[in-house]
Structures are given as structure tokens and as C-alpha cells.
A = this chain, B = another copy of it.
């Protein structure tokens, strides 16, 4: 990958220096955090002290590690419980403490492994109150127990320069839309970005490494493994970053192959044509439904939308189920012979979701050539007897060592097929996640072929999603040229 034209290195340096300045919190930002958040933590400590189950209250996340980006302050306050505390108690005490500090109305309950509390806007900050167990890194009782260890590790290993580099990498992954380890995104966590910077010493080195396209990418900072080349096999992944506080965990496990590839490709493009646009997302203006309708009408694309209600579920569960449902529907289409171009699912995470599936063509040929058994198999005669009397459209005939027939397809119109698939006659047998199934049985998802799918773009968020789906390109590619 060394042979393509690189942008003048000086230019990139200037560009990155500028961005570093822009995203680094200013003294007044630190002041503001201190003045608002420290009293909150003190307050939580005060209320927690009544409960012998609570060991400690501490600030975690990018704020604690000082790797946060100016203007993007998410506050993670962890309540560390003694390991003998029962889960119910941990949950109920967290709730009780949060209610005391912020009032019941401001507290929104969220779910990861166990519930945590979010205060959407506390004087300009979003605050998460997260319970975990205070345990050594080797004795984890829940996934969130790792966080304090991660925070400590980064604080111990980062200097000012590395913090700047980590901010750059986080901002870049956000800009190219691969940031976030949640199921919806399947991308890079903040901790992963920090470890990559620690391993390669700078943002540019990370990009050089990934843009080379050489896989696997393996990082084992503390050299837990004598022979790191076994790690892709061990972790079943081409991208392994061993967790420095838990050698059996791959910090990059959440990164899907597609997200990894997008990071690789974006690195290649950025290094060739560097631009601030890779870091800063200026949201596209949503198009009006009428505009999208006309576009879809003109280009005759075969995009089907399926609008479906969603149950109340924690986001990771919801997105896991929506993605599974999408996979199931897409596989059924493929089995029927439809050529799926791409597919994606959108949701407002409150009321409904829209599955988008693009096909090469809405319709299939009426007839299809089907393969029968080899004449040398024990099924040969049965096949000849079954179709020999003329029940196929044409054949059976023999080609090389096999029987073939021309058959009439059961489903020629993908829209009719999808309607059947999601009808009460069929929906129970698809293997859909139970939450979705029970909801969709009483309220059948609606099919919108193109161009009618454009009418759903009354939701501006979905309008952008559909617009991007039609365009097909990742945002960073769309704005690079």
C-alpha cells in the first residue's frame, strides 16, 4: 500500500495540530466540569456512606482518564459495591442513591448487564450512574467491573501527548462512524482507541498500520502471550487487542469485520486526501419525502421498506434482535432466489423500526433451473419417476452427471413474498426473537416497496438514513470527493 500518492506530510501535521487544539478541553472546560461534577460525586458519596455494601464512588471513563473531547462530555460515575452484595441489592441501592441525588423524575433507567441510571441533562452534562463490584481484575463478577481497572491502567500509562493522540483517534473514529462498541454500531470503544494509541504511539502510526491492510492486527501490550500469532485463532478474529487487565478478553471483539474494513479504507483515503471532514460530522439536511419519492421513482431501484413496531428493551438487546430479524428476512429472500444488494435496519429506539432491503430486482424470472440428484445416487430413479411423467415445466434432463429440471417459481414478486413471510401463516416459523415475534403477531409489519418507502421519510432521522442507504457510500467517502 506504499505506492499510492501520499499527501505532503507537513500538511497532515498542520491539519492534525489544528484539530488537536480544537478538540482538547480548555482550562475553562476543566473548571466547569470540576465545579459541577465534583459536588455531584461528593453528594453520591455522602448518600452511599449509609450503606455498608458500597465500597467506593468514583469518576470513570474519558473524564477520569482525561481523554475526553471538548464539547463531548459524558460523565460516568461508578458506585463500587462489595463483592458479597446481591445483584438485586446492587440495583436497588443504585436506584435509591440516584433518586436521592437527582430526584426521581430526572433518572432514567437503562440496561446493560445490570441496570444503570442516566440523567440526560444535568446542567449541560449527561451523567451515567453505573453500579459495579469492586473486585480484582482476575475475579470479575460483571462486565462493568472491568472499567475501574481500565481507567487506572490508562491513567498509569498515558502522558499529555498520548492523551492528545487518543483524542484524535476517537474523534476520527466518530467522524467516520465506527465509534462505539454497542451492538447497534459494532465499532471501536474509547478504551480500544486508547490502547491502539498506546501500542502505536501516535494517531498517524495507527492509521499507517491499518491503512497497510495487513491482517491480522494484533496488540498484546503486556506480552501475555509468548506467541501472539496464535491469537487470531484463539479469539476467532483478525483484530485482537488483548485486554491488559484481563488476558482472556479481546478489547476489539465488538468490532465487526465491516467496521474494521471501513476503518482500514477510511485510513487509506484520509492519508491520501487528508481533510477535517473526516473528524467533524456536519449532518446532512434531511430530504423531504416527496424529493426522495421522485428520486426512487426515477432511478427504478428496488428498495423495500418494512415498518415494524418495537418492544421496550435495552438498546443492546433491541439492536441485537433487530439485526437478527433482518438477517432472517434477508436469508429467506436469498433462499427464494432474490439477489440482495444490501440491507440495514433503522429505529427510533422508542416506537418503531424500519428494515431497508435493496434487491437487484423486485421480480424474479417466472422459471428457474433446478438441480436434481446425480444419476449415480440412490435418488436418481425416484427423481426420474417423480418428474418423468411431465410434472416439471421442462425436463428432467441430464447434464454431465446430474438431473435437472425447469421449474416454476413459487414467488416471483419479493413484495408479495415478504407479505406472506410476515403474515400470521408464516411468521411463527421464521425463528424471530421472541420479543419481536409476539409484538409482530398482533401488529403485522407493513411492507413499503420503492418508491412508496419514501413516505416514511416524514421522520427526519429516517429520511437521512434512507438517503444514505440510497447513496450507498459511507459518509466519509461521500464527502471525500
A396 cross-chain contacts in B, Cβ below 8 A: 472-473, 477
Binary contact track A355-368/B, C-beta < 8 Å → 1, others 0: 00010110001111
Copies in the complex: 2
Question: Could you tell me how many residues of chain A have their Cβ less than 8 Å away from some Cβ of chain B?
Answer: 67
**Is A136 engaged at the interface, CB distance under 8 Å to the other chain?**
no
**Is A280 engaged at the interface, CB distance under 8 Å to the other chain?**
no
Docked CA distance A360–B364 (Å): 9
- Quick check: B395 and A472 within 8 Å, CB to CB? yes
Known A-B contacts A360-B365, A384-B265, A395-B473; the reply to A1 vs B378 at CB < 8 A is yes
**Is A258 engaged at the interface, CB distance under 8 Å to the other chain?**
yes
Contact of A301 among B258, B272, B367, B377 (CB under 8 A): B367
A209 to chain B, nearest CB (A): 12
Known A-B contacts A257-B400, A361-B366, A406-B341; the reply to A381 vs B262 at CB < 8 A is no
Give the top 3 A-B pairs by smallest Cβ distance, nearest first. Answer: A361-B365, A394-B472, A213-B376
Q: Could you list 19 further interchain pairs (A-B, Cβ under 8 angstroms) beyond the known A339-B365, A360-B365, A360-B368? A: A213-B376, A213-B377, A213-B380, A265-B384, A268-B380, A268-B381, A269-B381, A272-B381, A341-B367, A341-B394, A342-B369, A342-B394, A342-B397, A361-B366, A385-B481, A388-B473, A388-B477, A394-B470, A397-B474
Residues on A facing B (Cβ under 8 Å) = 1, 3-4, 213-215, 257-258, 261-262, 264-265, 268-269, 272, 299-302, 339, 341-342, 358, 360-361, 365-369, 374-378, 380-382, 384-385, 388-390, 392-406, 470-474, 477-478, 480-481
